[in-house]
Structures are given as structure tokens and as C-alpha cells.
Structure 1
Amino acid sequence: MPLVTQPFVPPAPVPRTRPPSRLEIIRTVMRNPLELWGEPSFRLEWMKTKFFTERTLIANHPGLVRHVLVDNARNYRMATIRQLILRPILRDGLLTAEGETWKRSRKAMAPVFTPRHAQGFAVQMLEQSRAFTARYDAAAQSGRIRDIAVDMTELTFDILSATLFSGQVAGTEEDFAGDIERLLSTMGRVDPMDLLKAPAWVPRFRRILGQNVLEKFRGIVKQTMEDRQRLMARDPEAAPEDFLTLLIRLHGPDGLTIDEIEDNIITFIGAGHETTARALGWTLYCLANSPSDRDRVEAEIDEVLASEPDPVKWLDKMPWTRAAFEEAMRLYPPAPSINRAAIEDDRWDNGKGETVVIEAGTTVLVMPWTLHRHTKFWDRPEAFMPQRFLPENRGSIDRFQYLPFGVGPRICIGATFALQEAVIALGVLLSRFRFDCVPGTRPWPVQKLTTQPEGGLPMRVTLR
């Protein structure tokens, strides 16, 4: 009888079995919000709770998720706490802008991120991934340990810089990944003043610690914009037709302001690549602990690379590779929470005689972290099982139970870009190298701006 191997269960907080006290809530949210969620959050289709005087609805039912984020999205604005955390970093970037500012920015940037346009970046993604592997040759020959979390941050920044900014991001340094970590560890986390909904002008201790890094990023963006503006003025035909040029051309009374252009550039430099980097790191970690899945992915990559030189076609020709990446995003969603607040009273009927009443002012939490691990919607939700996302199985997954890129009007504009980037990067890396975990390493998922591995992802890199 063949040996049946159990799927890998990666580390994650065990759901609480008792409600936390107010003090525990504050401590846990400051340390790691992923540790706050209790067993009902992974079992019930929706639940109401209250923190101090704030009414909160946790929405897990796919129909309720669709109602809030799609069907009646106009009745829901960005939640206050989310904005208090993110706006100091991104200001009026696409992730945090609202109203007319968001509409203008989204419309302006949409042409860059159509599937057809994203395919045009495939060759650059391939070139940057191949160039990055050169850094691994010496490490692989000696079996040296690398922090994959740091490496993936650098790789995705290289790809982002080359594709959207033509490699012309000013003043970037080798410690870029460390700067990102410092920024998100300080300004990208909840502060007690945020929980109390104190006005934005009330000092936040963590924001003060991150101010120098934020100013550094702002300086990089200003210099990048000025360099490009000078080039466009001096020789318009020499300016690359990329994302940066597009944004600068949108400056004007009917377009974007200089500040809005700066905010969107920093959104993509500081956060646009971060989500893909974390998902790539978690994918390599999960595959390293699931040898049978890794064998399938490696065999698929070897076959495709031997017969298909066009990276545009890899996304469709590598279903196991894509499935592994998507399963890693299910277990460790890059954006683990989606926060909204009801503008007016609302209600949703589940079609079975049950009604959810949503009063104006209620905070609605659509939590990919709990939704992706919900016991009602997933078989063995705690386990790494890439086969869930193979083409023949995808039909069983409701569109609104899996939200790695969000959904609705504010769905991630770069979703297609990110999926293509990930499959190309994995194809290049896993065709040449093998990634193995260091004994005793058990990374702990921590929610900052993204779901990050506390302590990094130390892994041994060897030649295949």
C-alpha cells in the first residue's frame, strides 16, 4: 500500500476560545492583530461585536461580502482606523484616496494595468528575475543560508522599478528591503491612539519612530519625479513611455495634482511590490515543507521552460505553479483585512429567512485572514493544498470567499500584473535552485501592512 502523506500545516495563531478583555485587545492588536481572532470568527457566517463604543460586523458569508464590497459599495467608505494607519504613509495614493480623488486616480492608471498591457511587461519581468539569480550562484554552490523574505522584497522591487519606472528610481540603495521593514514596523502598525480614534494630529509614538524612513522615501520620489520632468522637458521623445511618464502627463487642472502624483508613486514603490514579495516568500516556504507539491511544481517548470520561451504564456501553462502561489496567498493573505464603515443604515438577506441589519456608522470587517481559513467554506482550511486552485477545482471556490486582491470597485489594480510576475519569478528561481528550510525555523505570521514572517524566512539555497 502506498504511503499517504499528510499535507503541510504551516504555522498560524490558534483561534481563541474565550473573548479577550479590553486590555488584551489593545495589547494584541499592537503586537499582532492576527492573534486576536477567536474560534467563532472561523466558524460563523457573520457576527457582531463591540469594541468600546464601536459597533463591528465581521462578514464571512460570500453573499454578505458581495453586498458590502460590490452590490452596495457606495454605502461603505474606508473605515476610520484603517485610514489613520495608512494615510500618514500613502496620503492620497490609490489605496487610501476616496471620492473624486480616487476616481480620477483610478481612471488615470487603469490603462497601465489592463491584462494586455501587463503582458507587455513579461519580458522585463523575466530579465529581472534572471539577473537576480546571479546573486544566488555563490550562495547555492556553498549551500549558504539566505533570508528569503528580504530577497523577495529586493526582487519584486527590481521588477517594479524596471517595468513601471524604467529603472529610473532615484537614490535607491542596497538596504531598500531593510527600509521597507522599518517603515512597516513603525508607521504600518496599529497605535493605541488609532484604536481610540484620536484625531490624526495627536502624536503616535510609532509614527515618530518611522518618520525618518518615510522622509527618505518621500525624498526618493521627489527626486525621481524631478529627474523625469527634466528629461521630458529637454527631450520629450527620450522619456520612456512608462507609468511614471503617464502620471506626470496627467498633471493639470483636469488631472492629478503634483501631490497626488507623488502619493501614487510612493504607493507603488513602498507598497505595490510588498504584497507580491510576501506572497512569494510564503510560497517558497510552503513548498519547501511540502516535497510532493514542490516536485510537481519543479517538473512543470522544467517542462514549460524547455518548450515555451515566451514568458507571457507561462501563467496559463504552469497551473501547479500558479496554484501553489494562490494557496500561499490563501493561507497568508498579503492584505489580511478589508475595512469599511456604513454611511447609511443597510440590510442584507441571506435567502434563508435571516437578515443582517447594518446600522449607519458600523465598522464592517471583511477579513481574508478568517475568510480564507473558514471551516464552512474550505476543506482542511489550515493545510497547504495547492490542488484547490487547479483549473478543474476552481469552480468549487466562490468568487467572494477568496480575496487576495480584494473585490469590487477597489479591487487591486495590479492583480494581473502580480500573478504574472509571481509565476515568472517562481519559474526562473525554481528552475535553477532548490529552497530548503533551516531546521528549527518556524516563521510566525504577523500583520503589519501585509502578512509578514516574524524573524524572516531563513532558507538554504542549493543548485538543483
Structure 2
Amino acid sequence: MDLAIPPFEPPAPIPRTVPPGRLEVIRTVFRNPLELWGEASYTLPWIDTRFFGRRSLIVNHPGLIRHLLVDNASNYKMQNVRQLVLRPILRDGLLTAEGLVWKRTRKAIAPVFTPRHAKGFATQMYAKSIDFVEESYFGADATGLPRDISVDMAQMTFAILSETLFSGEIAVSEETFSRDTENLLHFMGRIDPMDLMEAPSWVPRVTRIGGGPVMAKFRDIVKNTIDMRRRRVAADPANAPQDFLTLMLALIDTDSGLTEDELQDNILTFIGAGHETTARALAWTLYCVANTPSVREAMEDEIDRVLAEAVDPVDWLESMPHVRAAFEEAMRLYPPAPSINRQAVKADSWTSPEGEVVEIPAGVTVLIMPWTLHRHELLWEEPRLFRPERFLPENRGKIDRFQYLPFGAGPRVCIGATFALQEAVIALGVLMHRYRFDPLPGFRPWPVQRLTVQPIKGMPMRVTPRAAKQAL
């Protein structure tokens, strides 16, 4: 790293030094939960606290996290507040289903996302990334005018997801879908005060009143997509796409137990949420890299070399360690899913290597916060700085499996983790081979937590062709 240029510290809330009062908690959680956490959340291995009279355990110790998410995972169900926020959107989709519904759905979908199968999507990911660069948005004559990269990345990842999992047959345009997703998360993706008080789901949430029409629109998109594919399968089953959508439809006619409503819930989960997390992580990556010239240079050199050697895109994930490291470091600083919320079913306890005992009574809320975990002073050197070298192959062994959780862990680990990593490296390789992304002077995107960590006022950047590039 060039010592003449100071390390880059991306924008993020400063840890609180004074605990907030009840009213301030409500205001902060509604405005931006990332601003709620105090110094203790970034310095202690665990914190026993109370929210609205209910005991909560905030966990940052990798050993305790392993106990909660792996060793005794069956004792921890989805936390009530989380479900009150997500179930109105996703119902019994894979992210929100529990018990037997979750088990049978996960078992049925898993074959599509094995690492071996995910590699089979590389050619489609590459082709859609090329389309994005050459035709859809930037074109060959980029002017350098500011563009909202957060919108561009959402459109790009939606196009990739549509092609890989649905063979391009989703009943909506990419431009309209991007706006609809933003509206959906604005109205439906935040915690309402009634959620904090764990009011029953039938109690109206004033903050979500405006989300009804866009939620209905998403349900219509799903229904029309399913109907369109059913007609195609019925008309010519031999030539119907053998993709995720066809697989899900076939499950209805088997003994999988998947119902028509669960089919729609899972299609909505993958259409609505499947591209959102990767899109946000890509935008934050481009912003952080743009503010770190030495990292950008290393990435560009690596990308140019791999392309000059005509390495198959299926091998880019292994062939571009600097690109992957930058993406993973961006996910450390801006984890797409910033919280993992559980609730103890039965009383439990855990003993640390030092002999300290953590008692976890039944009903206690357990919060594992990748946002604080990934910036924790006991676990990371200079945790607020963007330093991708942490994730280079020679350094990865220093990172405990349970101190870095961009995709979660345990039985409910993100089923699309390999898919997302491969997609991100291919997209960054294509984008950065052709273009330079530069920040606007004086603009610092501010992270807010909805369902994902988003830049509240977008991510405007200048996009210009690189002076020297080789043909893709």
C-alpha cells in the first residue's frame, strides 16, 4: 500500500458514547438502526441489555456465535421482530419460513445452488455483464457525467438473476423493477414502532400503509411470471428452460409438499431479494475502490492479465484474488444483511475458553450483528478502514469463520453465497476492465439499514472509459 496516501475510512456512524432513551431508540430504529449501537457493541465480546423491558443478548464472540448458529442452532428460532418486518413481504419464502416448511423448501432448492452447479452460471453472468456495459447503460461513449451506481448495480444484478434463474422470463422490465424494489424497501423494509412492541401482525403499521400497492404489484409480477412459464411448459415441455423456475414448478407436482402459495413466496424471495444484496455490495465496492488508488491499480492489473490470458469466466473467482478481496472487504464494512436475529426456545448456556459462563434464558432475543461484528476492535486491526489485503489468500487464515458473516452461518447460511461471489467477481471484472469509477468531490454516501445496507441518497459517481483497454 502506498504510504503517501492515507488509508481510506468509508463513511459510517460513530459509535454512541451515551445510551439512548426509549423515545430515541424508536426514532433511531425507524430512521437508521445502524446509528443505534454504542461503543460497547464494538469493544465487548457480548452485551446483556434490555430493549423495551425485554432482555437481549448482543453477541460478538466467534465461539458463542458458533454455538448459537451451528452447535445448538435448533434451540434458536427466528426472532419475533424480524419476522414481523419480513413476513408481510416474503411470507413463507426461504428467508422467513421455519420448521418443516423451511426444511423441505431448502432441501428442494439446494441442488440449484451447489458450488458445482453455480459455476455453470458463469457464462450467462459474463454475457449479461457484457450486455450491460456495451448496450444497456454505459455504452461505448460514456461521457463521465454522474451516474447513480446503486441504481446501475441493481439493474445489472437483476438482469443477471433474471437470465440465470429464470432464463430472462420475468414479467417486468429491468428499469421499472429497480424503482419498484426501491419503493418496496422504503415502505416495507424498515422496523415500525409496533414491531418493536411486538404488537400482533394484524395491528396496522402506519409506516407501511404506502407499501400496499407496490407489494400487490410484486405479487402480480410473480403470478404473471409463473403463469407465463406454465403456458410454455404445457405447450412444449421438451424445449422449456430447465432453470430454477421450472424446477420450482415441477415441485408442485411431486411429493415435496410445496404448496402453490409457498411457490409464489419463494419466487418472490428470489426475484425481490436475490439481486438486492449483491447489488448493494457491488456499489459499496466500487465506491471504496475508487477512494483507494493502490487497490484499484492492483485490481485493474489483475483483471487485464486474466482477460489477456483468456481465462474462462468460470475460473475468474479463483483467478482474481484482488477483485474478490475488495468485494469481501466491502461486505465486511457494509454487510448486505447487517443483522441476524434469533430467539431462544429453551434455556441455554455457553462457557468461554476463559471460563466465563453466558446464561441464555428461554425467550431471550439474541442479536448477532455483522455490522458491529465486522467492525469489532477485538477481532479486526483498524476495523473502520478499507483494507482488502485482509482477504488475500495469504491472510485469510487469520480470519475466524465466525467473525465474518456476510452470508450467515449454520443450517440457514445463505444458499446463494457461491452464486453471489462468482457473480460479483465477473461483474467487477467486466466493469473495471472497460471503465473507471470516480467519486464526486465532497459527496460521501451515508449507509442506512433497510433490509440491506443502502446509501440513503444513492451512489453518484463519474464513469469514464479507461485510457487503455483490451477487447473483451
Alignment match, 2:36: 36
Question: Which stretch shows the higher mean deviation, 46-55 or 59-68?
Answer: 46-55
Matches within 5 A, 1:324-335: 324-335=326-337
How much is the aligned-residue C-alpha RMSD, in angstroms?
A: 1.1
Sequence identity percentage: 66
- What is aligned with 1:284? 286
CA distance in 2, matches of 1:434, 1:51: 45
CA contact (8 A) 2:30 2:190 kept: yes
Give 1:243's aligned amino acid. F
Change (3 A) 1:379 1:228: same
Contact 2:340 2:369 in 1 (8 A): yes
Deviation at 1:140, TM superposition (A): 5.2
Q: Distance in 1 between matches of 2:23 and 2:176?
A: 37
Partner of 2:156: 155
Query: 1:354 aligned to 344, 353, 356, which one?
Result: 356
Contact 1:288 1:436 in 2 (8 A): yes
Q: Which position in structure 2 is the counterpart of 1:113?
A: 113
TM-score, normalised relative to structure 2: 0.97
What residue in structure 2 maps to residue 198 of structure 1?
199
CA contact (8 A) 1:152 1:278 kept: yes
| Equivalent position of 2:210 in the other structure | 209
8 Å Cα contact 2:46/2:61 also seen in 1: yes
2:470 aligned partner: none
1:51-130 map, 5 Å: 51-130=51-130
Cα distance, 1:5 vs structure 2: 2.5
SS in 2 for 1:141: coil
1:395 aligns with 2:397: yes
Which consecutive residues of structure 1, in runs of 5 or more, have no partner in the other structure? none
Q: Deviations over 1:43-63 (max 9, x none)?
A: 000011001221100010000
Contact kept, 8 Å, 1:139 with 1:145, in 2: the verdict is no
Shift of 1:439: 1.1
Unaligned runs of 5+ in 2: 467-472
1:167 aligned residue: 168
Structure-to-structure mapping, 1:126-137, within 5 angstroms? 126-134=126-134, 135-137=136-138
2:430 counterpart letter in structure 1: V
Q: Do 1:372 and 1:401's aligned partners in 2 also have CA atoms closer than 8 Å?
A: yes
Amino acid at match of 2:463: V
Distance 1:219 1:272 in 2: 18
Aligned to 2:238: 237
Match of 2:142 in 1: 141
Whole-angstrom distance in 2 between the partners of 1:137 and 1:198: 47
Correspondence 1:216-295 to 2 at 5 A: 216-252=217-253, 254-295=256-297
- Maintained 8 Å contact 1:231/1:239: yes
- Superposed counterparts of 1:422-441, under 5 Å: 422-441=424-443
TM-score, normalised with respect to structure 1? 0.98
Once residues 178 and 7 of structure 1 are traced to their aligned partners in structure 2, the CA distance between those partners, rounded to angstroms, is: 35
1:60-109: CA deviations, max 9, x gaps? 00000000000000000000000000000000000000000000100000
Q: Name the counterpart of 1:342.
A: 344
